[in-house]
Structure formats: structure tokens, C-alpha cells
Amino acid sequence: MTEDELQSLLEQAIPANERYGLFVEECRDQDVRLRFSVDGGERWSMPALLALVDASLRAAAGIEARVTHLNVTVIRPAQQADVLALSRVIRRDRATVHAETWLFSHAVVEPMLHATASLSARR
């Protein structure tokens, strides 16, 4: 799947108020890199960051996949900058997908949040 194809699928599947300027930067096999932005003056809240986690996990595991188990570790507070999400599939086991995502503020240097999840792949 190309970056443009994934971008289109995500825009169709994710509600507009949860996209946060979503942009697919890279899409390779089961690894995905997404960028999210907030409007000027807005701050990253925990519900917003969880929406980014959900979107990035589904981008890697499959748009129709739904999170069944989620473990989130907040490493440091979010800065008021773009958020980069690096997501990948760890393992596929029949209809279950195990994936992880890392969120970074502005650049891929020091992560601010790490999440692992099991997702139910719809067939």
C-alpha cells in the first residue's frame, strides 16, 4: 500500500475531530510513520494522544482492526509541537494482531509515549 492510499483510507475511517492534521509520511510493509498537528493555541490532551495511538495502531495493523487490549506508558509530557507516530506490527496470530506505537514530540529523538496493543482484525 502506498502512502497516498493509506492516507485516503485513514481519512475515511477516522472521524474528522480525531485526525489532528493527520499526514502519512511513510508506509512500508507493516511499519508506518504518521505526523499529527494541532491548531495554534491548542494543547495535546491525553484523550487526543490516545486518539493518535488508536489511529497509528490501526494504520499499521489494518484500518478495520479494533483495539481489544492496550498498554500505554507515558514517558514524558507532550510538547506543543507536531507529534510523530512510529507504528509496527509485532506479530499476527489468526485474527489477532499485536502491534506497538511510539509517539515523539516534533522529531524522532526522545519518545514521549509508548503503547502496545492487541487488535482484532476484522475478516
Q: What angle do CA 55, 61, 64 make, to 5 degrees?
A: 70
Burial of 100 (0-12, 13-18, 19+ CB in 10 A): middle
39-65: per-residue pLDDT in tens? 777 889 999 999 999 999 999 998 899
The pLDDT value given to residue 106: 80
Q: For 61, phi and psi rounded to 5 degrees?
A: -85, -25
Residues present in the chain in total: 123
68-95: per-residue pLDDT in tens? 999 999 999 988 889 999 999 999 888 8
Q: Among 18-22, 23-27, 40-44, 98-102, where is mean pLDDT lowest?
A: 40-44
